[in-house]
Amino acid sequence: MKNPDRIGPPPQRDVQPSDQSDAGRASRRVFLASAGAGVVGLVAAGVASAESLADVPPRQLGAPLSARSERSEFVQLGRIPESTPGKRNVDPMDAINSKTPLQDLYGVITPSDLHYERSHSGIPSLDPALHRILLHGMSHKQLVLTVDDLKSMPSVSRIAFLECSGNGWENWKHADPGLTAQDLYGMVSTHEWTGVPLSYLVSLVGKSADSTWMLAEGGDASGMARSIPLTDEILSEAIVAYAQNGEPLRPAHGYPVRLLIPGFEGNMSVKWLRRLKFGDKPFMTRWETARYTSVMPDGRARQFHLRQDVNSLITSPSGMMAIKPGYHRISGLAWSGHGSIVKVEVSVDGGLHWRDAQLNTPVLPKAQARFQADWDWDGTPTKIVSRSTDEKGHVQPTRDALIGALGTNAVFHFNAQQTWSVDAQGAVRNVLA
């Protein structure tokens, strides 16, 4: 639109309009959407046609270049620190989680400063020159490695999600309608991780053949220590990582070195790693006897539920958003600790009918995948929901099926389908189903 108050010289016209009259101008600014135009027509709905540079703002003088770039002043992105579970706006001293703003992000890689944080005793500041990693137990050699030793070894890089087993725990018993995608599922993020393959270190110390478990211990005050089963899968995929998204690990994520076990519950990816001990049975730390167990409906506790199951959610539109009738590009994230996502289905009528969403490529194993689907909302109240399937054939369960199997005493491993309701005003809210 022509702005009479425009400051600066009039922009160059590179397209000659055939009709300069206001009426002609307005008539050309009709909506491009037309019947039967399919996806393209839908996408263009609401987009006015422009005809020359007079319709776009002029060029601008720039700010000086800098050593480190910041986000635009027009972009507000942040995590939400909380105490557990679901207590928000807490004093950061009391926070134990800080959640990723899933609904504000694009693609599948989480910016490093927005990767969720889960730390049981704060964030230690470890000097890499002083830090050491002890390798011992049932192995032929005992070794103490420096961080430089690790960096001089063969390395791998891998894009993988990390997810706290507590992710989604708000929805076990009831659905708080005031929660956003971030509040509900902000404890999953995807990064590119770089480090030494665990298998390389295992061969370096000569792990004895009957050592089938490994204790991983962190250097923070919490005494975080987990027993890791040394399956072929974990031996071939685990990384002793020192970098994330191209830079050294950030302190909150384990600087200078952490374990990364793709596909398994986040607490096994021990941060600030100080020791790996090989053994022939689980070490039964308090983290696996008291902490990361789930009380089943019959009262018994389930231990070593280690893998993160198939999961997905629609991030746009999602909780606490407001939408208008008309075209919407549904977008969301799907992931599975079993491997690659092969299918995501979307329902816009509360699960009565399903259709396949588009999966953005590449779809990587044990990484988040981005899905999209077209939706023309007619303005009547409804419910939208997604359901993912992974390469091993696991289908994301309904909430009823998950509760039927695990009851509601459990806190961890909630991977049920997430339903958002949309009311007549277009308000999007968290509901059970």
Ligand X SMILES: Nc1nc2c(c(=O)[nH]1)N[C@H]1C(S)=C(S)[C@@H](COP(=O)(O)O)O[C@H]1N2
271 binds Mo ion (CB under 5 A): no
Residue nearest to ligand X (CB): 218
- Contact stretch for ligand X (CB under 6 A) within 36-44, 192-200, 269-277, 311-319: 269-277
- Contact stretch for ligand X (CB under 6 A) within 2-10, 214-222, 294-302, 388-396: 214-222
Q: Closer CB to ligand X, residue 190 or residue 312?
A: 190
Q: Which of 135, 138, 164, 310 binds ligand X (CB under 6 A)?
A: 164
Q: How far apart are CA 398 and CA 409, in angstroms?
A: 17
Q: Which of 267, 315, 316, 430 binds Mo ion (CB under 5 A)?
A: 267
Question: In angstroms, what is the minimal distance from the CB of 224 to ligand X?
Answer: 4
C-alpha torsion angle, residues 226, 231, 232, 235 (rounded to 10): 20
307 binds ligand X (CB under 6 A): no
Window 76 to 115, contacts with ligand X (CB under 6 A): 115
Q: Which long-range contacts (CB under 8 A, 24 or more apart) does 1-10 make?
A: 1/55, 2/54, 2/55, 6/58, 7/58, 8/58, 9/58, 10/54
253 binds ligand X (CB under 6 A): yes
Q: Which of 79, 118, 131, 394 binds ligand X (CB under 6 A)?
A: 118
Q: Which of 272, 278, 335, 420 binds ligand X (CB under 6 A)?
A: 272
277 binds ligand X (CB under 6 A): no
222 binds ligand X (CB under 6 A): yes
266 binds ligand X (CB under 6 A): yes
Q: Are 265 and 288 in contact (CB under 8 A)?
A: no
Q: Are 409 and 295 in contact (CB under 8 A)?
A: yes
Q: Closer CB to ligand X, residue 167 or residue 396?
A: 167
Q: How many Å separate Cα 404 from the centre of its chain?
A: 27
Q: Which amino acid is at 219?
A: G
264 binds ligand X (CB under 6 A): no
417 binds Mo ion (CB under 5 A): no
Window 101 to 120, contacts with Mo ion (CB under 5 A): 118
Q: Which of 137, 219, 266, 319 binds Mo ion (CB under 5 A)?
A: 266
Q: Which of 116, 185, 278, 377 binds ligand X (CB under 6 A)?
A: 116
278 contacts which partner out of ligand X, Mo ion, none, CB within 5 to 8 A by kind?
A: none
Q: Which of 80, 150, 164, 196 binds Mo ion (CB under 5 A)?
A: 164
Q: Closer CB to ligand X, residue 116 or residue 283?
A: 116
117 binds ligand X (CB under 6 A): yes
Question: In angstroms, what is the minimal distance from the CB of 412 to Mo ion?
Answer: 8
Kindly list the residues in this chain that would bind Mo ion in the complex (CB under 5 A).
118, 164, 266-267
Kindly list the residues in this chain that would bind ligand X in the complex (CB under 6 A).
115-120, 162, 164, 218, 220, 222, 224, 252-253, 266-267, 269-272
